Each structure stands twice: as structure tokens, then as C-alpha cells.
Structure 1
Amino acid sequence: MASRFRRHGGRYRRRVLRPFGFRVLAACIRVKVDGREPEWASERRIEERALNASGAFQSLVYDGWLLGYRPGPTKRLRCVNPFYPSTLPLEKKVLHCISFYAAARLPAIFRLLPFSEPSTLDAWLERNGWAAFERTLVLRCSLAELAESPHSNEPVTIIDPPAWEPLVAELLDIAPDALPRFIERATGYPLPHAGALIRRDGEVVACGVLKLEDDHAGLFALKTAAAWRGRGLGRAVVAALLGEARRRGAATAYLQVTADNGPALALYRRFGFITAYEYWYRARDGEQH
């Protein structure tokens, strides 16, 4: 599964602090050593940015876990994201999550990362019959050192949301009754963002959207119509979005792609994207969707 490398040496001990008689757990928190950032800190921030980029991440915070419950096809927004240090017994927490998602009429799904908390969670789920599926890579690249120029002869239109959403709705399979919600989220999104698209005979055949936070730019909703694949349109959209990100001051770009999507991976590698980390889902039989 994940390449669980350690960039800054050995593990740090778990410590229990008891100021003023109250127990405050610092379990699994990596502290700075010699001015270096905590382990997985930059990767965790990418995760936070990616969730912020959703524009409306409906979630509850439960003992360090984010329980997303926004219905729809995007699993990372309707699953357990176990990001932060945990204090309650693991079995109790999992049972709580099962009940929560049953009440929300959603499948109980966990999204596991190399820095999930607690570190024993993935193995515990596997032992208890939660099967792993849909391995996904999170890639990033430096915009100052692009391996391929962010320019293309293919004309790409940059459009600020929410004008972008209605134009790409058919390509992205957004149902007419769901479109108003997409437009509402884009209208209320508080951070800079921009959409890109390519038209052929008046029809949108390729698209993508850029979400910016701090000096990072996330690329999302990258899609080319099936009949137009293999003609360089996807490359043109990525090039346009990276160019726009750099123009707006971003230093790093990131995106997510399923590990078995060979053509997309080959495209992104050409721009210098490398794997930052990966994640995968776990669910019980019948709920892996």
C-alpha cells in the first residue's frame, strides 16, 4: 500500500500532559526538531486544502476525525477522514461511525492515509473485514520547475466560476436538478478559483478547475469527452491551469488521480508531477461505492 517513508528520522514518543489537573493528550503529534517541520505536515496541509476546495465540505468533528456526510459521487466528502490525534477507544469510534452513516443513509467508508490517526487504524479495519479499494495518488509539482512548458497551441478559455459550472455541467455529468447547488457553492466559495474549458463546434469537450489557497493550486474536475481523448486536449487544459496558477502567484500545484489511470498519470508526469503520498478507502462488503 502506501510508501510510509520517514523523512526526518525516528519516531517521537507519545506524551501525556496534565496541566491544572486536566489530561491533554499529545499523542501522535510530531514536534519540530532543529527548525524542521513536523512529519507529514506539508502533506496534511494538502489534504486540508483539497477538502477546503470542495466549497461545502459538510462534516462533523468527532475526536479528531472528520465525518463527511455530503451526498454525491465524491467519496472523500462522504467518508471518515481520520486526520488528527484520537483519544477514544478505537472500536467505540468505529461503531459510532457505522451508526452515524446508517442514520445519514450513506455507506460507512474510511479514507486511509499514511498519516491517519491512530496509526493502527488501517490494520484494525483490515482484521475486521473492511476491504481496501480505489487506491488514489496525490501528485504535486513545483511551478518554478515545470518539466513541460505551461503553454499550448490549443485554445483554452479561462472562465471564473460560477459562469463555468453551467458550461461544463453536461461533460461532468451534473444533473439539471443538482446544477443550482454547484452554482451556489461556486458563488459562495471564499478563495480564488478559475475554470478552464475547450469547445468544439460549440460543445465543451474538455475542462478543469483551479482552486488556490496560500501558495498552492489544486487541479480538479479534469475531464475530456471520450470521443476527443488522445488529441492533446487534456494536456492543453492542464497547461492552461498551471499557467493561470503561476500567474496568480502559486508556487506548488497538486492533484489527485486513481492509481490505475495510466494515461492520466503519464500526462501529469510530463509536467513534472511526482507522488507526494497516496490514500485508499476501506468499507464492508456491499458498501464499497
Structure 2
Amino acid sequence: MRMNPVIARSFDPYLLSRVEDAGLNASAPPQQRWVDGWLLRFSPGKAKRARCVNAVAPGRMPVAHKLALCEPVFAQAGLPLIVRITPFSEPAGLDSTLDALGLERFDDTRVMVLEDVSNIVAPSLGKGLSIQPVGLEAFAQRVGALRGSPLSQRLAHGQRLAQSPVPFQAYEMKLDGEVVACGQYAREADLIGLYDIYTAEWARGRGYANRLCAHVLAEAHRNGARHAYLQVDGDNHPARAIYHRLGFADAYAYHYRARDPAAA
């Protein structure tokens, strides 16, 4: 029987519990509700974390009953039902239960953690490069344009950032006045999460993302951060290599399930 993902034994489980909570807080949209211990989020944005079921607590109902209550919520929002599966998902064995109910697995994602950000040194940027803070709604438009996201997703992203229960700080890197990379972090006490690290397609492979991340982490440390985390697609090997060089390591994995992953 396939079980929920597991956490890496090398990490403090209490830190990883904080990381999971922080990731939920950082992705919180205004469109959400509870169903018997499950947190339903149905924002129309690109991030699946903000438009899925997060199975936070076991509740009292059978899984099939809860799914039957969840599906109309997503249908009314014009979204497919997606369930996010983590090592913390409840009830135990939820992954295999959903598999038996016909929900297919997709989008393997890794949560990477840097336990001590104090060793990160802000890099020398070089001629023509600059990094500066940018407003959150402007950032949503900027990263959306780089990704080619439709306007509806950019607006939903900007709304989520503006109404976030935790503070974000966004940055953009420019080369001779043209944006080459951008990213942001969410902060909870001494823990920060890197989000939306993105490099313009034409500028990839030149070390911009590495320098941007190092700059952001060094800035966060100056403001009191001790630990950092991020979430990245399991098969995004270039990005994972960057994060490994910065000292991040895989802490745990998660994935999604849906009746039709292609529609998700």
C-alpha cells in the first residue's frame, strides 16, 4: 500500500512542522473554507497550493464523503478538485485511499530547507546588475509577465500577496535596466520562505538566480532570519542544483491527486 510521503530523518521534525505551517500561511488566499478538518482553497491563480484541498486534520467523516462535499465547492469556483498530499496529511494512509478512489497522482514537489542562513554572503553583482525591492502587486505582474501567465492569474496572485497573513518582501534583478530575474520571501519570526524565484528565459544559465537568492537570503538574515525553506518541482533539476549549491537540502516531498491531472 502506498503511503503519504515521509520526512528526511536528518531534519528537526519540529522545524519541518513549522515549515509546513509557514507554507500554508504564505499561500493563503481569501477564497477558502473548512470541511471536516480539511482546508479548501479555491483561488483562480496559478499556484496549486492556493487552489487545492489541504488535508490538515483527520476529521470525523469518511474520505469519500468529504470528497463529495468538496467537489461542488471547486465546481462552483470553476476549478477542478485537487488534493495535496504531504507527510502531514490526515487521515493516515490518505494517499492510498485517494488512489483507490480513482484520483491520479501528479506534480512531485520537494520542500528544501536551509537550516542556517548565517553562512550566506551577499554576492558581488558585477557591472550593469542591480537588485532592488519592488511592490507586491507590481511583482505579481512582473513575474506573471515573465511566466506568460494570463491576466486573471496575475491579478489573483497580486490579491493573495496584498491580503497575505504574513509579510512578503519582493525583489527584482536588472541588467542595464532590463529585468532578468525576480523573487520574494515570506517571513514568520526567524523562518523565511523563498517564493517565485524566476529568471527570464533568455537570461538563464548565467548565474542570475543564484546571485538573487544569495542576496535575498543575506538581506533576510540581516533582518533576523535563521532558517529558510522553498518548494520546487522534483524534476526541475537546474533550479534544484542552484538551491543545493546555496546549502538547501531535501526535507520532504509532496504531490497532488486529481481525477484528471491534465485539467489541473
TM-score calculated relative to the size of structure 2: 0.86
Structure 1: unaligned runs, 5 residues or longer = 8-38
What amino acid maps onto 1:132 in structure 2? R
Q: 1:158 aligns with which of 132, 156, 160?
A: 132
Higher relative contact order (CA 8 A, sep 6+): 2
Compared with structure 1, are the counterparts of its residues 130 and 215 closer, same or farther at alpha carbon in structure 2 (3 Å cutoff)? same
Q: Which residue of 1 aligns with 2:45?
A: 72
1:1-289 matches, within 5 Å, as 4=6, 40-54=13-27, 56-144=29-117, 146=119, 149-154=121-126, 155-162=129-136, 164-165=138-139, 166-176=141-151, 182-189=157-164, 191-285=166-260, 288-289=263-264
Q: Which residue of 2 aligns with 1:11?
A: none
Question: Contact (CA 8 Å) 2:31, 2:42: kept in 1 or not?
Answer: yes
What amino acid maps onto 1:104 in structure 2? A
Compared with structure 1, are the counterparts of its residues 188 and 285 closer, same or farther at alpha carbon in structure 2 (3 Å cutoff)? closer
Report the identity percentage.
37
Question: Contact (CA 8 Å) 1:161, 1:187: kept in 2 or not?
Answer: no
Aligned mates of 1:109, 1:176 — CA distance in 2: 22
What amino acid maps onto 2:183 in structure 1? G
CA positional deviation for 1:172: 4.0
Aligned mates of 1:6, 1:136 — CA distance in 2: 14
**Secondary structure in 2 aligned to 1:246?**
helix
Question: Contact (CA 8 Å) 2:174, 2:180: kept in 1 or not?
Answer: yes
Aligned mates of 1:265, 1:278 — CA distance in 2: 13
Deviations 1:95-128 (A, max 9, x none): 1122322222210111001121001211011112
Compared with structure 1, are the counterparts of its residues 56 and 286 closer, same or farther at alpha carbon in structure 2 (3 Å cutoff)? closer
TM-score calculated relative to the size of structure 1: 0.79
Larger fraction in helix: 2
CA positional deviation for 1:73: 1.5
Compared with structure 1, are the counterparts of its residues 189 and 60 closer, same or farther at alpha carbon in structure 2 (3 Å cutoff)? closer
CA positional deviation for 1:6: 8.5
What amino acid maps onto 1:105 in structure 2? G
Q: Which moved more, 1:189-198 or 1:90-99?
A: 189-198
Question: Contact (CA 8 Å) 1:97, 1:108: kept in 2 or not?
Answer: yes
Deviations 1:204-231 (A, max 9, x none): 1111011111111110010101111000
What amino acid maps onto 2:44 in structure 1? P
Aligned mates of 2:153, 2:5 — CA distance in 1: 38
What amino acid maps onto 1:63 in structure 2? D
Question: Contact (CA 8 Å) 2:118, 2:218: kept in 1 or not?
Answer: no
- Root mean square deviation of aligned Cα: 2.7
What amino acid maps onto 1:121 in structure 2? L
Structure 2: unaligned runs, 5 residues or longer = none
Q: Which moved more, 1:166-175 or 1:201-210?
A: 166-175
Aligned mates of 1:124, 1:163 — CA distance in 2: 40
